[in-house]
């Protein structure tokens, strides 16, 4: 009898940039979330791609979870926890 | 029976007449300072907030994040700091959003104007303050409820009107309250003034006598 499959870890993309204070705060929150549940994080510096830079320069930090849920700007921990379905 | 001092109660001796007089003089000096420089203090505090907000991106640019970061988060008490609503200098976000920056900057400018006119800038009535606040209320609330999205220039214009209106209304009003002498404390006029050719009425107008 096969074991029931565990739900896949959320795929998280974190758009950031060096010297962005809000990004540092959001990164700390992601670390706190990691203590609760596991997820796969891709951290992207928007300066690595001019198109990304144009799209996100006035929006970072931007967190996209499973390609659907998106949080940006000044992110509150309760909103992030809600996006990760943490009670 | 004479009243004897309680042994060991030195606190009672703290307010000797000399010390009480010195304390009163000290408090009087502080009060006089505040009465003279209250507008300077308010304007300086507001100006400092604007200066810090503008300094943050420069500090970040020069790698002084250890200073910039706490200042940035300290200003969160005064502003939501939404990135999309903020100005950027050298690629770094200012400490205040566009609207709040214009509010505080116009408050600072109006405070400065008030001081430069030796606190004689005439105030505006409350309804004028209300009119100056209306554009920002409209711009802010329609955006908050998702009816429309504001633009940076609208945020700046409406914020400037609101900030200037607040200070233009409040500062002269405070000055009026501070300089108004209660009727009971009004000095009696010199007896000779009753017979003088010119008398000064409480309205401040010079009125020709008989």
pLDDT tens digit string along B20-69?
899 999 999 999 999 999 999 999 999 999 999 999 999 999 999 999 99
Judged by a CB distance cut-off of 8 A, whether residue A21 touches chain B is yes
Helices and strands, number each (H, E), in chain A: 3, 4
Q: Is B93 helix (H, G, I), strand (E, B) or coil?
A: strand
Supply the pLDDT for residue B2: 57
Question: Cα–Cα distances in Å, from A29 out to B76, B103, B110, B166, B208?
Answer: 17, 31, 40, 38, 76
**Token pair in block for residue B87:** 């100005």
B180 backbone dihedrals φ, ψ, rounded to 5°: -70, 130
- The pLDDT of residue B185 is above 70: no
Q: How many CB atoms lie within 10 A of CB B119?
A: 18
Q: What is the DSSP secondary structure assignment for residue B14, as one 8-state letter?
A: S
Partner-chain contact A59 B83, CB within 8 Å: yes
Per the CB < 8 A criterion, the answer to whether A35 and A44 are in contact is no
CATH class name, domain A11-83: alpha beta
Of A19, A24, A58, which has the smallest distance from its Cβ to B83's Cβ? A58
- The pLDDT of residue B108 is above 70: yes
> Which candidate in A16, A17, A20, A21 is best for mutational testing of the B interface (most B CBs within 10 A)?
A21
pTM: 0.77
pLDDT in tens, chain A (87 residues): 555 666 678 999 999 998 899 999 999 999 999 999 999 999 999 999 999 999 999 999 999 999 887 899 989 999 999 999 887
């Amino acid at each position: 009898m096969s074991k029931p499959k565990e739900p896949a870890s959320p795929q998280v993309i974190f758009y950031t940039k060096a010297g962005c204070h809000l990004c540092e705060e959001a990164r700390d929150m992601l670390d706190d979330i990691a203590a609760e549940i596991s997820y796969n994080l891709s951290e992207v510096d928007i300066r690595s791609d001019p198109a990304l830079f144009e799209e996100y320069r006035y929006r970072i930090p931007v967190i996209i979870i499973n390609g659907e849920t998106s949080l940006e700007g000044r992110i509150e921990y309760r909103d992030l926890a809600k996006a990760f379905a943490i009670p | 029976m004479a009243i004897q001092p309680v042994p060991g109660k030195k606190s009672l001796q703290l307010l000797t007449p000399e010390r009480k007089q010195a304390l009163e003089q000290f408090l009087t000096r502080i009060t006089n300072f505040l009465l003279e420089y209250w507008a300077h203090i308010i304007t300086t505090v507001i100006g400092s907030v604007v200066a810090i907000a503008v300094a943050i991106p420069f500090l970040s640019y020069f790698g002084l994040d250890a200073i910039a970061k706490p200042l940035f988060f300290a200003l969160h008490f005064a502003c939501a700091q939404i990135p999309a609503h903020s100005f950027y200098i050298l690629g770094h976000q200012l400490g205040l959003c566009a609207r709040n920056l214009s509010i505080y900057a116009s408050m600072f400018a109006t405070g400065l104007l008030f001081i430069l006119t030796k606190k004689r800038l005439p105030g505006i009535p409350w309804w004028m303050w209300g009119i100056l606040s209306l554009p920002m209320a409209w711009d802010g609330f329609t955006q908050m409820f998702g009816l429309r999205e504001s633009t940076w220039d609208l945020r700046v214009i409406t914020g400037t009107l609101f900030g200037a209106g607040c200070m233009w209304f409040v500062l002269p009003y405070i000055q009026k309250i501070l300089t108004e002498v209660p009727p009971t404390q009004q000095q009696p006029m010199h007896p000779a003034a009753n017979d003088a050719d010119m008398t000064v009425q409480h309205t401040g107008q010079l009125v020709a006598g008989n």
